[in-house]
Amino acid sequence: MKRDERGSVAAEFAVTVPAVVLVIVLAVSALSVGGRQVRLEHAAAQAARLAAREESADRVNAAVSTLASGARVATTREGDLVCVELTAAPGVPLPLPDLRASSCALAAPEVG
């Protein structure tokens, strides 16, 4: 190795390592956000089924908090359908918009 090239490997390594770490952190964050979105969608479906069976709001909120902690719940009735929309923070320290999931279920028939 020539005398003027000494230390170039260390300098290249010092530049490369932070870039590789950044890519790994972003990949793990993306997987975390994707998993949270899947849990949010599952919680919305479960909450819609519970709300359609006319379970109490406390029961619906408990199911949502079990599956997707920190999610905000909004329940609406549209004709024969009961719809639930959940909104939650992504859960990673990145400037991302809130995650959203919604689901509808056929309401229990009215007995009368």
Rounded Cα gap, residues 95 and 91, in angstroms:
10
Answer whether residue 55 is part of any domain. Answer: yes
Query: The pTM is what?
Result: 0.82
Answer whether residue 111 is part of any domain. Answer: no
Answer whether residue 77 is part of any domain. Answer: yes
Supply the pLDDT for residue 11: 86
Answer whether residue 69 is part of any domain. Answer: yes
Number of folded domains in the chain? Answer: 1
Neighbours of 68 (CB within 10 A): 26
Position 21, amino acid? V
Answer whether residue 1 is part of any domain. Answer: no
Each residue's pLDDT tens digit, 44-88: 999 999 999 999 999 999 999 999 999 999 999 988 999 999 999
Query: For residue 110, what are its two tokens?
Result: 């009215």
Rounded Cα gap, residues 22 and 3, in angstroms:
32
Say whether pLDDT at 3 is over 70.
no
Which structural domain range is residue 27 located in?
8-106
Say whether pLDDT at 16 is over 90.
yes
